[in-house]
Amino acid sequence: MNYPNGQRKIIPVQKSSSNQENKIFSNRGMTLEEDINITNKFYLDTDQAVIHKKPTPVQIVKVNYPSRSAAVITEAYYKQASTTDYNGLYRGKYVDFEAKETRNKTRFPLSNIHDHQISHMQSVVDHGGVCFMIIRFAAYDETYFLEAEKLFSYWNDKLKGGKKSISYETIKKDSYIIPFQYQTRVDYLAIIDKLYF
C-alpha cells in the first residue's frame, strides 16, 4: 500500500495453521470489527439505528489479471487519512465511534489513535454528536465503551509528556463494560441510552 505521503508499506500475507487460529479465536472466533458489524446489522434489521462502517478511500494503481475471472490488486494507496470507523444515527442523534482491539493485557497504547482522529472526534462532540471509543482487550475477551471526553483527557495528558497509554485498570474504572450477547454482540446502544437519553 502507498500512503498519501508517498511512503510505501508492504503488507505480508501470512498463512496460519489451524492450531494457531484456534488459539487466537478460542472464544467466539470473531474479531471486534466482525462483532460490531453483526451488531449493527441487527440494529438495522430491527429498525433501532442506522450505523455503518465507513469505507476507507483507496486509489487502485495496479491490478494483475492472472485469468479472466480473477483480478489481484498489486498496488494501491490510501487517498486520505480516515477519521473514525463507524457513524450513523440513533434516536435522532449523530453517532460516531472508533473501535480498537488490543492483545496487550495491561494497557491500551494511545499510539493506536492518531491526531486527525482525535480532532474529528472533538468536532463531533462540539457539534452535539455522540462520540466514543470501543476498546476490546482480547486477552480477557472484554469490551469497553470509553466516552470521547474521557479519551481527550488521556490524549491531552500524553501531549503534555504524560503517559502514552491507558492502563487496563483505568479503562475498567472509567469505561462501561459491554457484555457479550448473541444478537447484539457489542450492544453499545444500551450504554448510549444510559448516558444520553
Q: Per CATH, which fold does 29-55+81-196 belong to?
A: Trna Endonuclease; Chain: A, domain 1 (3.40.1350)
Phi, psi dihedrals of residue 160, rounded to the nearest 5°:
-90, 10
Strand-pair category, 176-177 with 107-109: unpaired
Select the more confidently predicted residue: 23 or 55.
55
CA dist list (Å): 156 to 21, 127, 150, 153, 163: 38, 20, 10, 5, 10
Nearest to 39 by CA among 183, 135, 172, 154: 183
Task: Evaluate if residue 4 carries a pLDDT over 80.
Answer: no
pLDDT value of residue 7: 52
Q: List the grid coordinates of 2.
A: 502507498
For the stretch 73-131, pLDDT in tens is 888 776 666 789 999 999 999 999 999 999 999 999 999 999 999 999 999 999 999 99
User: Binning pLDDT at 50, 70 and 90, where does residue 60 land?
Assistant: confident
Task: Evaluate if residue 59 carries a pLDDT over 90.
Answer: no
Task: Evaluate if residue 6 carries a pLDDT over 60.
Answer: no
Task: Evaluate if residue 190 carries a pLDDT over 90.
Answer: yes
Is residue 116 classed as helix, strand or coil in its secondary structure? Answer: helix
Select the more confidently predicted residue: 108 or 1.
108
Task: Evaluate if residue 140 carries a pLDDT over 90.
Answer: yes
What would the mean pLDDT of 49-57 be, rounded to a whole number? Answer: 88
Q: In this structure, what DSSP letter does residue 100 have?
A: E
The domain limits of the chain are 29-55+81-196
pLDDT value of residue 71: 81
pLDDT value of residue 20: 41
pLDDT value of residue 14: 45
Averaged pLDDT of the chain: 86
For the stretch 148-171, pLDDT in tens is 999 999 999 999 999 999 999 999
Burial 178-196 (b: 16+ CB within 10 A, else e): bebeeebbbbbbebbeeee
Contact 10, 2 (CB under 8 A): no
| H or E element that contains 145 | strand 142-147
Give the span between the Cα atoms of 110 and 162, in whole angstroms. 11
